[in-house]
Amino acid sequence: MSKIEPRTLKGFRDFLPEDQIQRQKMIEIIRASYETFGFEPLETPALEYAEILTGKYGEEGDKLMYRFRDNGDRDVALRYDLTIPLARVAAQYENEIKKPFKRYQISPVWRAENTQKGRFREFYQCDADIVGSNSLLADAEILALSANTLLALGLKNEDFVIRVNSREIISAFYDSLKLSSEQKSVAIRMVDKIDKIGEDGVREELSKNNFSDSNIKSVLNFATGKLKEGGETKEAFEKLQKIIEKASTLSPKTKFVTDFSIARGLDYYTGMIFETTLIKAPQFGSVMSGGRYDNLIGMFANKTFPAVGTSIGLDRLIAALEELKLIKTEKTVIRALVVNFEESLEKDYLKLVSDLRNAGINTMLYFDTADLKKQLSYANDRGIPFALLYGQNEAKEGLIIVKNLVTGTQEKVKFDEVINYLSIPFKTSK
């Protein structure tokens, strides 16, 4: 058989252990953070009937979907996000699920994105949502959860700001200008870009779209927070203030700021919306976003269910944390390599590794009796912090030489005490 070229599809990635160890750790931190807030895990399939997914993400979403006919000629598609599958589940198991239903899901999603923009076609989302509550406390919990999860991942309060807005405020404001629905959507889209194109850019775009000077001025005042709250937006604004107040009680040192320029792309939001900007790495855009969507689940049910949620784009966040040097990379999960000097001692080696493993210490036995230098260099290359040396002399004395490969020091430890010795936290990084 001729050789098949080993290659990965464009936009898809292999995560070798050095990367995957870190990714897994971050996922565990996110999971633990979500669970402290009382969110519980849900898992939905990678494949769905296409009709469940299409038409929910706008025209572009439908184009980017991995959609095909399966062997039974069903029209199917790979999961495009985790929100629509949640909406399906909430409707499908309506009678089994107790409300409020607080669930999280951390799973890959697939989009046939343009990879030249540095986007991936398979990437992880980490979502937490509350289904079945209208309470402002639910909105506040979503905001506080977002903040606390970033803190759990190693960010400090001064590293990020959560910018909060409300679709109700946006609607009330634009309705008051009596814009056409087309103009309204142009304005929302342009204002959402104000960080990139500036006030002048917004002014120019609105001008092109036949906005009156007074409307342009109003829109810019609104977008930059210079508009006095009152009139049409008053009620919605007070509601948002209450949400932020409650969120601040839950996560006191977090910067929650109102920002009337943010809009969030998706159409389904109905209330509070938010984005999270890393102050020292704003170029990564929002690393955690979400909002309230009270009508979405109704697409699958005979009634509507209020819902509010947050989502971390894991890949973007990792890229940003790497940039900020906030990622502590660990090359290996292995704590000790047992050096293999000679076959006659193999039973002792096997007993030693078994004891260590049973004590929960991740241990590797070198399989071949290669020379010591080669074995130590393997351990060094892999980043394994300890090498355990046990030859004929040590066997006679019932001792093991524990070599700390980071500091270069070594100590003799009794065979039976090596577990305790290795369980003690050690300086294993320079």
Cross-strand bridge partners of residue 307? 131
Contact 409, 426 (CB under 8 A): no
Query: Would you count residue 361 as binding its own copies (CB under 8 A)?
Result: yes
What angle is formed at CA 307 by the lines to CA 301 and CA 308, rounded to 5 degrees? Answer: 155
Phi, psi of 163 (to 5 degrees): -95, 125
Please report how close the Cβ of residue 280 comes to its own copies at its closest, in angstroms.
25
Query: Would you count residue 353 as binding its own copies (CB under 8 A)?
Result: yes
State the CB neighbour count (10 A cutoff) for residue 314. Answer: 19
Query: Would you count residue 267 as binding its own copies (CB under 8 A)?
Result: no
**Which residues have CB under 8 Å from 218's CB, separation 6+?**
177, 227
Q: Which of 60, 92, 208, 257 binds its own copies (CB under 8 A)?
A: 92
Q: Which of 350, 393, 409, 429 binds its own copies (CB under 8 A)?
A: 350
Residue with Cβ nearer its own copies (6 or 408):
6
**Coil, strand or helix: which one is 291?**
strand
Residue with Cβ nearer its own copies (106 or 262):
106
Q: Which of 29, 47, 324, 406 binds its own copies (CB under 8 A)?
A: 47
State the CB neighbour count (10 A cutoff) for residue 19. Answer: 13
Residue with Cβ nearer its own copies (32 or 257):
32
Report how many residues bind its own copies under the rule CB under 8 A. 102
Please report how close the Cβ of residue 107 comes to its own copies at its closest, in angstroms.
10
Residue with Cβ nearer its own copies (148 or 310):
148
How many angstroms separate the CA atoms of 377 and 384, rounded? 10
Query: Would you count residue 76 as binding its own copies (CB under 8 A)?
Result: yes
End-to-end alpha-carbon separation of the chain, Å? Answer: 49
Please report how close the Cβ of residue 398 comes to its own copies at its closest, in angstroms.
19
Query: Would you count residue 419 as binding its own copies (CB under 8 A)?
Result: no
Query: Would you count residue 176 as binding its own copies (CB under 8 A)?
Result: no
Please report how close the Cβ of residue 109 comes to its own copies at its closest, in angstroms.
10
Where does residue 428 fall: left (phi above 0), alpha (psi -120 to 50 degrees), or beta otherwise?
Answer: alpha
Query: Would you count residue 58 as binding its own copies (CB under 8 A)?
Result: no
> Which residues, numbered 286-305, are part of the site for its own copies (CB under 8 A)?
299-302
Where are the alpha helices (H) located in 126-252, listed in sequence order?
136-152, 167-177, 181-192, 194-208, 213-223, 234-250
Select from 178-186, 258-266, 350-358, 413-421 the region that touches its own copies (CB under 8 A): 350-358
